[in-house]
Amino acid sequence: MDFKDKVAIVTGAGQGIGFEICRLLAARGATVLLNDVDTKLAEKAVAQINTQTGGNCTHFAGDASDLAFINKMVDNAVKLYGHLDIVIANAGITLFGDFGTYTPEAFYKVMQVNLGGSFFLAQAASNKMKLQSGGGAILFTSSVVGHQALKSLAAYAMTKAALEMLAKNLVIELSQYKINVNTVAPGATLTERTTEEADYERVWTDITPMGRPASVTDIAETALFLVSDKAKHITGQSLIVDGGWTAVSILPTGIK
């Protein structure tokens, strides 16, 4: 997959899956605008990517759930590079909590970041892409919990299922402008955060049919395919990357 002359925005990309998406895009020729709410983390990520790939990655730190910031980021990308071809709404938060005691503050925060940020980023980006003869590609980061219930994740799971429905709705809104919209739904994935959890890798290795959790590269390679020119006739779809876990849905136990 060649991304030469493509301009991409990836949110929530200071580490983990988002970072790997940016790294692969830059390595394959894209100009990448990397977003993270943590300025130092974004700066470090960009420096690492450019050193490793020799590519063109710049940071644009800020809150990807804030409408004014979203518009500023999209406008900045078009102003700097003349066009915007790929947008990956990867920023999201997970706030675990028992349903019976889940607070309004936690609920609305998850909704604002996971849903509001993704919705309005897609809106701002597509309004720019509509003006381009070549259209563009939008990708949302969903999750297997949008398909399979897990305890203490009711609010988070709602947002992930909603993103997949949003992608379907945008087929009606955006296909005429040559803009395709899809979601990638990662399963258990080894990231900086999950590897800090006791027994995470062991538990998910035991219950994943393919015998291991996903790597960030497993997810990133799928994301790149969905925003590449090879996938231009794929839209409104969600691709689950979970080593077969949702096919059997064995619930995790023993993670502390």
CA 255 to the chain's CA centroid: 25
Query: Mean pLDDT score of the chain, rounded to an integer?
Result: 96
Taking residues 62-88, report their average pLDDT. 98
Does 255 fall in a domain? no
Percent of all residues in the chain with a pLDDT value above 70, rounded to a whole number: 99
- 253 found inside a domain: no
Which domain, by its residues, includes 224? 7-247
Verify whether residue 81 is a known catalytic residue: no
**Sheet harboring 238-241: ordered strands across?**
56-59, 31-34, 7-10, 86-89, 136-141, 179-186, 238-241
Q: Is residue 60 part of a domain?
A: yes
Phi–psi pair at 140, nearest 5 degrees: -105, 145
6 carries an active-site annotation: no
Residue 160 maps to which CATH number?
A: 3.40.50.720
Residue 186 lies in a domain: yes
Q: What is the CA radius of gyration of the chain?
A: 17
pLDDT digits (tens, 9 = 90+) for 82-103: 999 999 999 999 999 999 999 9
> Which two three-digit tokens encode residue 22?
């940016």
Among 118, 142, 143, 238, the active-site one is 143
150 lies in a domain? yes
Catalytic pick among 65, 142, 160, 200: 160
What is residue 255's predicted lDDT score, i.e. its pLDDT?
A: 55
Look at residue 63 and tell me if it is in a domain: yes
Give yes or no: 108 in active site: no
2 part of a folded domain:
no
Higher pLDDT, 38 or 197: 38
* H-state helical runs in 28-102: 39-53, 67-81
Q: Hey, what are 26's tokens? A: 């830059």
Strands (E), the chain: 7-10, 31-34, 56-59, 86-89, 136-141, 179-186, 238-241
pTM score, whole prediction: 0.96
Into how many domains does the chain fold?
1
| CB distance 239 to 222 below 8 Å | yes
In this structure, is residue 1 part of a structural domain? no
Please name which of 41, 38, 43 lies closest in space to residue 64, comparing C-alpha atoms. 38
Q: How far is CA 194 from CA 44, 197, 211, in A?
A: 20, 5, 17
